[in-house]
Amino acid sequence: MTPRLVLILASAFGATAVAAGAFGAHGLRGNVTERALEIFETATRYQLTHALVLVAIAILMQILPEPPSSLSIGAVAIALGMVLFCGSLYGLSLGAARWLGAIAPLGGAAFIVGWLCLAVAGWKLT
């Protein structure tokens, strides 16, 4: 994955997280249960946080003379985590089938892999 693509993904995920947060605060309040709103807010918080992680990865990929491949792998894992974890939480909060909740841990595992890839990149720095 190129730094350009990672930054584009980060921007898209960041923008949609802000839009989702606004929708949750203004469109969902009073229309879903408090628990569903909490789940939705968790999804937006994780999405925005990990969008910022993707920005950091894009910067590292650009400025390091020889960026470790673990940065690219980590970016893919973080993006996958956002789709699986945040996507399943958004779905659950909006009334999707409860089995969708089984996908969230896969997204959480992808987040962990992404963070560990970032740690590997740090380890390889001289």
* Alpha-carbon distances, residue 126 vs 3, 32, 56, 69, 71 (angstroms): 21, 51, 19, 15, 15
DSSP 64: S
Q: What is the pLDDT of residue 29?
A: 82
Torsion angle of the four alpha carbons 19, 23, 25, 31, in this order, in degrees rounded to the nearest 10 = -170
pLDDT, one tens digit per residue, over 69-114 is 999 999 999 999 999 999 999 999 998 888 988 999 999 999 999 9
Model pTM score:
0.93
Tens digits of per-residue pLDDT, 24-54?
999 998 899 999 999 999 999 999 999 999 9
- The number of domains in the chain is 1
Q: Which residue range is the domain that position 78 belongs to?
A: 3-124
DSSP conformation class of 98: G
